[in-house]
A and B are shown apart, each in its own frame.
Chain A
């Protein structure tokens, strides 16, 4: 157990639908990062939150959004889903502003049918 909890582990949904992925960071970590892993794109950074505020954006589609709540858990919302959104979505957390060992959750496997 890495200390980073992601739910659900698996999600199957239809095109056009909306889903929410949840991440609870390791205790004491203020930063949360979301990554998408697919066969054709590899591991792509989506977005980072630090202590409730957005700090960096990567290759995140406009159909996707995220937020970090006061208790530091984060949610990634994916809407108007397309087949190409099928991927493994990882959340990672780190202690603060300086790079440290980012701790990854076990991921949510999203399948869009």
Chain B
């Protein structure tokens, strides 16, 4: 079945440490890929997106993501996290064919410790 998976429900990292959030997808062809962030009580903010081309995508707030076709992955990274990065992160996909609805993963909650 077509799906998007975020294997980590909750991740805790120290402030200043590096971060990698995992996202895997299962589609016949490469979907359009997105990462969103949701701060407590807030809406969803787009961090970055991948449609085609360079597999390393730069986003806002110092985030980047790397598309790896061989692994069907689109992992989100940040070299050094800040306390303000504590939030819920969602990977999302739009299939390359059919309607344009965004399908979300289950999310990864990021906790930052001092």
- The contact string, 1 if C-beta is below 8 Å from chain B, for chain A 27-44, is 000010100000000110
**A103, closest chain B residue (CB):** B46
The answer to whether the Cβ of B45 comes within 8 Å of any Cβ in the partner chain is: yes
B45 touches A55 (CB 8 A): no
The answer to whether the Cβ of B29 comes within 8 Å of any Cβ in the partner chain is: no
Interface residues of B (CB under 8 A from A): 32, 34, 36, 42-46, 49, 51, 90, 94, 99-104, 106-107
B107 touches A42 (CB 8 A): yes
A102 and B46 in contact, given A31-B100, A33-B102, A45-B103 (Cβ under 8 angstroms): yes
A55 touches B99 (CB 8 A): yes
B49 touches A106 (CB 8 A): no
Q: Which residues of B contact A2 (CB under 8 A)?
A: 43, 45
Task: Identify which of residues 84-113 in chain A touch chain B, using a CB-to-CB cut-off of 8 Å.
Answer: 90, 92, 94, 97-107
> What are 24 of the A-B contact pairs (CB < 8 Å)?
A2-B43, A33-B101, A42-B104, A42-B106, A42-B107, A43-B90, A45-B103, A55-B99, A56-B99, A56-B100, A56-B101, A92-B44, A98-B100, A99-B32, A99-B102, A101-B46, A101-B49, A102-B34, A102-B46, A102-B102, A103-B46, A104-B36, A104-B45, A107-B43
B100 touches A94 (CB 8 A): yes
Interface residues of A (CB under 8 A from B): 2, 31, 33, 42-43, 45, 48, 55-56, 58, 90, 92, 94, 97-107
Q: Which residues of B contact A102 (CB under 8 A)?
A: 34, 46, 102
A106 touches B43 (CB 8 A): yes
Which residue of the partner chain, among A33, A98, A100, A105, contacts B43 with CB atoms under 8 Å? A105
What's the least CB distance linking B41 to chain A, in Å?
9
